[in-house]
A and B are shown apart, each in its own frame.
Chain A
Amino acid sequence: KQEVTQIPAALSVPEGENLVLNCSFTDSAIYNLQWFRQDPGKGLTSLLLIQSSQREQTSGRLNASLDKSSGRSTLYIAASQPGDSATYLCAAFLGGATNKLIFGTGTLLAVQP
């Protein structure tokens, strides 16, 4: 059974700091991995999608990496801003007949002005 874990569960940083969020998954046979942002009481916003054949994806100040063999993905946020404060979720998509997106436990990020 695929399990997706995120560390740390919560993180507070001063504005301007670079930070890394970690995501690990137990089954390396994933199809792709997606990072989301969720604001309190809101739905999810897709940030980055990394296919299993890719090593990283970048969008603006965000960079996500994927290491399938070790079962890890990281989300790097450069020059953090108060507006980045949210919960960040990673989700691993299981291929084959499974066709499921399994979410991680989430990291609650607070960027202090």
Chain B
Amino acid sequence: GAVVSQHPSWVICKSGTSVKIECRSLDFQATTMFWYRQFPKQSLMLMATSNEGSKATYEQGVEKDKFLINHASLTLSTLTVTSAHPEDSSFYICSARTQNQRNSPLHFGNGTRLTVT
């Protein structure tokens, strides 16, 4: 089955530092990956759509200069939280499709728990 791997699974950082989260499609190529954020006891909110070889598309209210997304290859997208603050503490999850078709299911990574102290 399709596997999406996310790393790290959890990270603790100090306020003001930057953190990079990796999302890899292990057994398929993904031209598009999606980044979600989930606060405690809330649902997932789409942050941005990551497109291989081009700029990411950010959702309204998401700061593109704070959440840097790079999708340099068909199997890797990275999300960098720059100058992290405690309010950035959240669960970040990436997802991808096995096929570049809208009728194919999305597969999700196991998420990254970010805690900013």
Count of B interface residues, CB-CB < 8 Å? 23
**CB-contact partner of A44 in B32, B93, B102, B113, under 8 A:** B93
Task: Give a binary string over B18-40; 1 marks a CB under 8 Å from any A CB, 0 the rest.
Answer: 00000000000000101010000
**CB-contact partner of B105 in A46, A99, A100, A104, under 8 A:** A46
User: Size band of the A side of the interface?
Assistant: 20 to 34
**CB-contact partner of A100 in B42, B49, B108, under 8 A:** B49
A31-B103 contact given A42-B110, A44-B93, CB 8 Å threshold: yes
Contact B44 A89 (CB under 8 A): yes
- Min CB distance B115 to A, Å, is 12
Can you give 24 contacting A-B residue pairs, CB < 8 Å?
A: A32-B103, A34-B105, A34-B106, A36-B108, A41-B111, A42-B110, A42-B111, A43-B109, A43-B111, A44-B108, A45-B108, A46-B107, A91-B44, A91-B106, A95-B102, A99-B102, A100-B46, A101-B34, A101-B46, A101-B95, A101-B106, A103-B36, A105-B42, A105-B43
